[in-house]
A = this chain, B = another copy of it.
Amino acid sequence: MATHQTASTTSVLRVMNERAVFGEIFRLGPVSRPELAQATGLSKPTISVALANLGRAGLVREVGLRAGPAGRSALLYEARPEAGWVLAVDIGRAFVRVVLANLAGTIVTRVDDPSGSRNPTDLLAQLTRLADRLTAEVGIGRADVTLAVFGTPGIHDKETGALHLAPNLPGWEQPGAVDRFSTVSSSPYLVENDVDLAAVGEATYGLGRGVAHFAYVSIGTGTGMGIVIDGKLYRGARGCAGEISYLPIGEGDPLQADPTAARRGMFETVASADGIVAAAQRLGWAGATSAKEVFDAARSGDPIAERAVEVEVNHVAHALAAVTAVLDLELIVLGGGVGVQGGDLLIGPVQDRLRHLVALQPPRIEVSTLASDAVLTGAVAVGVTAARDLVLDRMVATNT
């Protein structure tokens, strides 16, 4: 770390330019040399040599001709999608979802497998089996995967390799457990919180496109938030940013309660699916069993269910008020089981309530359109971005 952002010899310039060309090819799709010259500001000969290098490395290929209104037709170039493969994994509550995506970000194969035993050894065996199956379908081996991305609940402690705050994954809190993901693909891999990935997915392919600062708030069996700042995922000092489960919001006066009682009035316990059911029961509907049921009843005008939704609105609005006061976001996308199924009932009232709670201009609030695929989508987005850098780095290394 002697030098911060320094640069030196003239050959780094070539690498920078090749990087820029590669990026523009992704951004613009099939594109001609003159268009690349205009987009990058480079001259035609420079574009030509960059394309030659990228082509020799197998990252770019000719893809046809474009006829203009007059004059010679231009050769079109595109990134070779098979130049890299991303294995994206969503370790969900009921299902393990795995997809294989190419460098263009298109998902080529996919499998949803019911969760079996979730201890590290069994889960890793399941993932390895699924990875084998998917790669075979495409005609590559597990070793040809450029990068694997694993979306898990909880917080990945990079120091110890343990997974914290993930009670549904027994055994993964052991030091070094997360490092065993390396056995699945024998290639570089990333481990990210599932809600964080969903936020990236929403930022790349969903409603968050083009929004500088936004957050994805997931409410389901649990609660969580992924924060995107300046288009980049914000993880916090220890990876715990957005752990809104612990927001001090709940019934009763927090100041009167026993100050030593831990976890009282946590957002998660009152606002998650179970919290909604509990609220309905407390309000007189003893037989309430699921959040979906409560939302359906509220839609048909049941007064107790309506009141339960009102309570949920209040909780969510308080949480988002805290988020707004701290982060001043442009957009909040609501996801998770409760967020998606009850979004139509929640969004309007939450926004109204929010306007009263904070005198600031509240963020736009929308319901996720990616639904249960948000995590996978985000894993692909993260993986493709990193994989593009990887294949370029590899090209530069071999050209030494």
Q: Which A residues fall within an 8 A CB radius of B? A: 2-8, 10, 12-13, 16-17, 20, 23-24, 38-42, 212-213, 225, 227, 229, 234-249, 251-255, 259-263, 267, 311, 314, 318, 321-330, 353, 356-361, 363
Could you say which residues of chain B place their CB within 8 Å of the CB of A359? 246, 262-263
List chain B residues, Cβ under 8 A from A13: 7, 10, 12-13
Q: A360 contacts which of B240, B323, B356 (Cβ < 8 Å)?
A: B240
Give complex CA distance A8, B21 in Å. 11
Given A229-B229, A261-B356, A263-B359, residue A8 in contact with residue B248 (CB < 8 A)? no
User: Among B5, B24, B252, which residue has its beta carbon within 8 angstroms of that of A20?
Assistant: B5
Q: Is the interface of A mostly helix, strand, loop or mixed?
A: loop
* CB < 8 Å neighbour of A326 from B39, B242, B361: B242
Count of chain copies: 2
Q: Report yes or no: B328 in contact with A243, Cβ–Cβ below 8 A.
A: yes
Question: Can you list 19 pairs linking A and B with CB atoms under 8 Å apart?
Answer: A3-B40, A6-B40, A6-B42, A7-B13, A213-B236, A238-B328, A239-B328, A241-B327, A242-B326, A243-B325, A244-B325, A247-B322, A247-B325, A253-B253, A254-B314, A255-B311, A262-B357, A262-B359, A326-B326
- Contact across chains for B356 and A262 when beta carbons are under 8 A apart: yes
CB atoms of B328 and A237 under 8 A apart: yes
Bound CA span A70–B44, Å: 53
A330: chain B residues within 8 A (beta carbon): 237
* Cross-chain contact of A255 among B212, B227, B242, B314 (Cβ < 8 A): B314
Nearest chain-B residue to A234 (Cβ)? B229
Contact of A259 among B10, B247, B353 (CB under 8 A): B353
Q: Among the interface residues A237, A238, A330, A356, which one has the most CB atoms of the partner chain B within 10 A?
A: A237
